[in-house]
Amino acid sequence: MKTKLSRLRHFFYPLLVIGVVYTLYLCIQFLFLFLGRLLSPLLKIAWKLEELTAGVVLPNFILHLFLGLIPLLIAFYLAEKTFFRHRFLPRFFPPSPWAHWDLLFGLALGFFLFALLFLVFFALGWVRFTATPLVVSPDLFWMALTFMVAALFEELFYRGLHLPVFAAHWGLSPAIAFSAFLFSLAHLNNPHLSFGGLFVILLAGVLFAFAYLETGTLYLPVALHFSWNFWQNCFGFRVSGFAFPTLFQLEVTGPPLWTGGAFGPEASLAGLFLLGLATVATLLYGRFRRRTHLHPTETSRPSGTSGPPPPTEKNRP
């Protein structure tokens, strides 16, 4: 009987942890929404959600910051200090001699992937310019910040919270699958969504999970996530169904099976191919990382265990 209760507790504990964070996060969101509506006449900021479209860049940044990232960070803090009274998650960005290499690799990989896609589509005659490329624009600056905040929020939420908590109690494979599934469900309200787009986003969640497991930190997942969205947008493609201010104004005329149609490359065979390249590159980088010692005390670990351990029955709060 005691063993059965222990197993039930072990199974349901991740749901408790995530439920506490979700509850705190939603409460803080509602508080920020209330304060935003209260102060918006004074600050002259559009807080109505229906006004926050892709074309309204600054309010879009404010939405991601004050209704996404900041409430999540506060929820993590309150959960640790007031509910669990223990560190209940691994450190997201620990000091590491590999940190700047992880960031550079992630940023470069996104650029390479979408530069390749742009060149292939251009060579096939599937894209044409509809306006002169923008060199400098305030919208591009705010768009870059928005993509950075969005990448931080989603990686902290899905790879920082769900993945390690589920892995400690349900096993690594279910944790990767379930965190990626939840990540894809978060995009259900995106415009022009198709089953293909949802499937590719789910696989992107698996890619970002591999990036976390290969490095043990969120440096690479955040950099790759930001770079994927930023360069996809800069080269003129839609990002998960959204058309943001971009460097190249393009009309994509190729077959939707390969271009993704109105949703963008993430709903296409080309998107699947890019994810395959990114996954292979990430695994090879992780292998190189484990075999190369940047610090005398650093030792290599098996794939998927290089990071700080997630909470377990022994070290959980």
At residue 295, the pLDDT reads: 55
Coarse DSSP helix, strand, coil percentages of the chain, rounded to the nearest 5 percent: 70, 5, 30
CA 20, 310, 297, 100: dihedral to nearest 10 degrees? -60
Radius of gyration for the chain, computed over Cα atoms and rounded to the nearest angstrom: 21
Q: Which residue has the higher pLDDT, 42 or 119?
A: 119
301 pLDDT more than 80:
no
pLDDT greater than 70 at residue 44: no
Q: Is the pLDDT of residue 202 over 60?
A: yes
pTM for the whole structure: 0.86
Q: How far is the C-alpha of 79 from the C-alpha of 156, rounded, in Å?
A: 14
Tokens 């493609």 locate to 237
Q: Is the pLDDT of residue 315 over 70?
A: no
How high is the pLDDT of residue 85?
85
User: Average pLDDT, stretch 189-206?
Assistant: 94
Q: What is the average pLDDT across 307-313?
A: 44
Q: Is 116 or 62 the better-scoring residue by pLDDT?
A: 116
CA 19 from chain centre, in angstroms, equals 20
> What pLDDT is recorded for position 138?
77
Residue 92 in tokens: 């997201």
pLDDT at 222: 98
Is pLDDT above 60 for 133?
yes
Statement: residue 304 has pLDDT above 50: no
- As a whole-number percent, the residues of the chain with pLDDT over 90 amount to 64
The residue ranking higher by pLDDT, 160 or 40, is: 160
228-287, pLDDT tens digit by residue? 999 999 999 999 998 888 888 888 998 999 999 999 999 999 999 999 999 999 999 999
Q: Which is nearest to 260 in space by CA: 251, 249, 271?
A: 271
Q: How many CA atoms lie less than 13 Å away from 271 in the CB half-sphere?
A: 28
The 10 Å Cβ neighbour count of residue 297 is 5
pLDDT at 196 over 50: yes
pLDDT of residue 45: 57
Please write the tens of the pLDDT for every residue from 88-107: 888 899 999 999 999 999 99
Which pairs from 187-190 meet CB under 8 Å and 24+ separation? Answer: 187/240, 190/240, 190/241, 190/242, 190/263
Provide the mean pLDDT of the chain.
86
